[in-house]
Amino acid sequence: MTVLTRPSLLLLDEYTAALDPKNARIVLELTGRFTREYGLTAMMVTLNMPHAIECGNRLLVMDRGGSSSICMGR
């Protein structure tokens, strides 16, 4: 992952959707390490609930355009 500037927020919109499970895992691990090292916030949009639960410390679940539940902390 290359970042030319130092953003404080990364918007990750279905960025592992086209990957096989092995490569999706690699990308998720690299993203986690990258955000920790640089102190970034990542907002991940995904339909993959296991990824969201594993990677997120705050989850907002959307249903028909509205929020249906919010979870904070692991």
Query: How far is Cα 33 from Cα 28, in angstroms, rounded to an integer?
Result: 9
pLDDT of amino acid 17: 93
Nearest-5° angle of CA 74, CA 41, CA 36? 75
pTM for this prediction: 0.74
pLDDT of residue 74: 57
Residues (pLDDT < 50) of the chain are none
Place of tokens 């992952």: 1
pLDDT at 64: 85
Helix ranges (H only) for the chain are: 21-38, 49-55
Q: What is the pLDDT of residue 61?
A: 86
- Picking from 5, 17, 6, the residue whose alpha carbon sits closest to that of residue 44 is 17
Residue 16's pLDDT is 93
**Cα gap 27→32, rounded to integer Å:** 9
pLDDT of residue 2: 57
